Amino acid sequence: MNNIEDKIIQYFEHELSREEAAQIEQLITENVEARKLFDQYKSVYVSFDQIPHQAPSDRLKQNFSLFLNEEIKQQAKSTKNTNYTKTIWMLAIGAILAAMLFFLVKNKADNQEINQQMIAMNENLTKLMQNESSSHRIKAVQISATLPDNNQQALDLLMDAMAKDPSSNVRLSALEALEKHIDNEQVRASIYKSMADETDQVVLISYINILTESKEKSAITELKKITKDQAMDQFIKDEAQLGLFQLQEY
């Protein structure tokens, strides 16, 4: 099934030849398990393409303009003998209020749909993070890193991978993905905690470099802890000391 899973991922990445893609399409009509897997990945990729846009769509704007013009035209025909300007303005305001109501209702429905897609995507990313292959887990980390900053579940997934993944390569990728969120207090606290528990020297060097680059004054305390750690290797202490020099200069 792993091979099929890989092929399905390639299918959605448009990396299969026409013949291979046709084989996958045939397979999912015959094999229930493959169909299930296909649907799970489909929801990831579909929802990935539909990351929320907070502004109203062009179509919505266009519909609203058409609706407004139509209303104005119709009312103009039937009110030739009345107070023309006043009526037009009242109708226009009414149309605006109706359109706003329509927009609010539609936006709520859109948000619900997007939220459902985000939940499905997060579930699938969580599943991908449980894959035995560290390379697949790194892929999940990299997808999570591209999600909107307010996707707390994606951030949690990255922080969890940074702290606990058995592969130091995955922990390193998660740390690097979190670098751009270092201004987030929760992420920073998580980085400090994970750094204290980290035993891999390459990952530790990356923690030190990321904290130095962040120019975060609170990192000084964390780097000082490393320089004073009796059990720490000397070259890591040296790196932390260099980081301290740079941070204290900022």
Partner 1 sequence: MKYLIICIFSFISIQAIAQHHHELSYEHVFNRHKDDKHFETKEYKVKHSGGNLIISGVADVSIESYNGSEVILSSQVQIKNNPHNDRAKGLKVLDSRGIEDNTGLGYSLTKKEGNLYLATMGHAHCDCSALTIKLPKGIGLVIEDKTFRGEVVWIKNFQDAIDMSLNNHSVRLEYVTGPMAIKTLHGNIEATFDKISQEGTINLVAVHSFVDVSLPSATNANLTLKTGHGEIYSDMDIIMDHEASKSGTGSKIITGKINNGGVNITLKSNFNEVYLRKI
- Which residues sit at the interface with partner 1, rule CB under 8 A? 6, 9-10, 13, 15, 132-136, 138-139, 142, 167-170, 172-173, 200-202, 205-206, 209, 213, 234-235, 238, 241-242, 245
Q: Cβ contacts of residue 66 below 8 Å, gap of 6+?
A: none
In this structure, the number of other CB atoms found within 10 A of the CB of residue 36 comes to: 10
User: Least distance to partner 1 from the beta carbon of 222, Å?
Assistant: 18
Q: Closer to partner 1 at the Cβ: 87 or 214? A: 214
Instruction: Of 219, 199, 198, give the one whose Cα is nearest residue 209.
Output: 219
60-84 b/e (C-beta count within 10 Å ≥ 16 → b): beebbeeebeebeeebeeeeeeeee
Q: Closer to partner 1 at the Cβ: 10 or 153? A: 10
User: Least distance to partner 1 from the beta carbon of 224, Å?
Assistant: 13
User: Least distance to partner 1 from the beta carbon of 169, Å?
Assistant: 3
User: Least distance to partner 1 from the beta carbon of 109, Å?
Assistant: 34
**DSSP SS3 for 195:** helix
Q: Closer to partner 1 at the Cβ: 87 or 169? A: 169
Q: Closer to partner 1 at the Cβ: 13 or 185? A: 13
Q: Cβ contacts of residue 79 below 8 Å, gap of 6+?
A: 87, 88
Q: Closer to partner 1 at the Cβ: 109 or 202? A: 202
d(CA 144, CA 164): 16
Q: How far is CA 91 from CA 71, 76, 79, 99, 105, in A?
A: 8, 10, 11, 12, 21
User: Least distance to partner 1 from the beta carbon of 239, Å?
Assistant: 8
Q: Closer to partner 1 at the Cβ: 99 or 177? A: 177
User: Least distance to partner 1 from the beta carbon of 242, Å?
Assistant: 5
